[in-house]
């Protein structure tokens, strides 16, 4: 499957590959490719709040998989059930562009991506992206971009499935994030993810804040207006959400 050319996150002009860089003919910015990861952030300025989040996840990347398993279990959702639910949706997404927003280490979702789909892992933390890359072979059906979710370098109507596992618990501006998802999702595209409704008392993942089902419902209203329907399933204190075209069958 051919991956779409990225757009400049600053001026939205199409980018052209030139050796180890992606060049914008609109505003002249040059984005580096570092060990296969396209870096859309280093040439742009980042707010201090985002730098702090990025540093936190850079420093947690090596231990992150253990931390997330612990958190899921402490939220009273057995890890096996958690990963099986993710596998059920992702593994049936065939010949599609799957975009993971705040992909982190891509664990466990990376192992469920069908070979005939393309996986695009997006994250602000280069260390988390490094862990993600290590899950896939060099010639695999996956790409990784270092981005800020509020400035997605993707064309309109390009993604078939957007994923967001616990990312909404961290993203600073959820309204803008939803606007971006609305923009990049195809008309029949889907959004699937999880939120933590509460957090464990001894929360290891400091930047996370809880989100209620009502907050999520309000947030996703703009997306539902495009004729989609929201399905949710609660496992312990984790809410799975799946927004899909209204005609699709319930899970």
Ligand X SMILES: C[S@@+](CC[C@H](N)C(=O)[O-])C[C@H]1O[C@@H](n2cnc3c(N)ncnc32)[C@H](O)[C@@H]1O
- Residues in touch with ligand X (CB under 6 A): 50, 53, 57, 68, 102-104, 123-125, 128, 147-149, 165-167, 170-171, 205, 208
- Give alpha helix (H) positions in the chain: 48-60, 64-74, 79-90, 126-133, 174-184, 213-219, 221-224
Pick what 11 binds: ligand X, Zn ion, none; C-beta below 5 to 8 Å, kind-dependent: Zn ion
**Is residue 27 at the binding interface for Zn ion, with CB under 5 A as the rule?**
yes
CA distances from 198 to 74, 135, 146 (A): 10, 29, 28
Number of neighbours of residue 249 by Cβ within 10 angstroms: 5
For ligand X, give the closer residue by CB, 25 or 237. Answer: 237
Q: Tell me the closest approach of the beta carbon of residue 63 to ligand X, in angstroms.
A: 12
**Is residue 155 at the binding interface for Zn ion, with CB under 5 A as the rule?**
no
**Is residue 11 at the binding interface for Zn ion, with CB under 5 A as the rule?**
yes
Provide the 3-class DSSP secondary structure of residue 176: helix
Binder of Zn ion out of 14, 21, 26, 114 (CB under 5 A): 26
**Residue 226 to residue 39: CA distance in whole angstroms:** 31
**Is residue 24 at the binding interface for Zn ion, with CB under 5 A as the rule?**
yes
**Residue 183 to residue 90: CA distance in whole angstroms:** 21
CA distances from 64 to 23, 70, 71, 73, 125 (A): 33, 10, 10, 14, 12
Pick what 27 binds: ligand X, Zn ion, none; C-beta below 5 to 8 Å, kind-dependent: Zn ion
Q: Of 94, 88, 116, which Cα lies nearest the Cα of 192? A: 88
For ligand X, give the closer residue by CB, 167 or 228. Answer: 167
Pick what 239 binds: ligand X, Zn ion, none; C-beta below 5 to 8 Å, kind-dependent: none
Q: Tell me the closest approach of the beta carbon of residue 247 to ligand X, in angstroms.
A: 28
Q: Tell me the closest approach of the beta carbon of residue 16 to ligand X, in angstroms.
A: 24
Enumerate binding residues for Zn ion (CB under 5 A).
Answer: 8, 10-11, 13, 24, 26-27
């Amino acid at each position: 499957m051919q991956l779409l050319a990225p757009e400049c996150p600053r001026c939205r002009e199409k980018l052209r590959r030139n050796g180890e860089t992606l060049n914008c003919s609109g505003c002249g910015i040059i984005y580096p490719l570092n060990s296969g990861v396209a870096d859309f952030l280093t040439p742009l300025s980042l707010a201090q709040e985002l730098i702090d989040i990025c540093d936190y996840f850079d420093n947690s990347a090596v231990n992150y998989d253990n931390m997330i398993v612990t958190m899921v279990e402490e939220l009273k959702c057995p890890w096996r059930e958690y990963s099986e639910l993710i596998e059920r949706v992702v593994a049936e997404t065939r010949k599609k562009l799957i975009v993971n927003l705040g992909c982190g280490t891509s664990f466990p979702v990376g192992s469920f991506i069908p070979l005939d789909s393309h996986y695009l892992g997006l994250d602000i933390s280069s260390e988390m992206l490094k862990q993600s890359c290590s899950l896939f072979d060099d010639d695999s059906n996956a790409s990784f971009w270092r981005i800020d979710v509020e400035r997605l370098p993707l064309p309109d109507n390009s993604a078939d499935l957007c994923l967001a596992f616990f990312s909404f618990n961290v993203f600073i501006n959820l309204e803008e994030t939803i606007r971006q998802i609305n923009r990049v999702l195809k008309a029949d595209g889907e959004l699937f993810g999880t939120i933590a409704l509460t957090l464990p008392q001894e929360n290891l993942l400091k930047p996370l804040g809880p989100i209620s089902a009502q907050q999520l419902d309000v947030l996703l209203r703009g997306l539902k207006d495009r004729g989609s329907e929201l399905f949710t399933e609660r496992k312990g204190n984790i809410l799975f959400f799946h927004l899909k075209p209204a005609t699709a069958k319930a899970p």
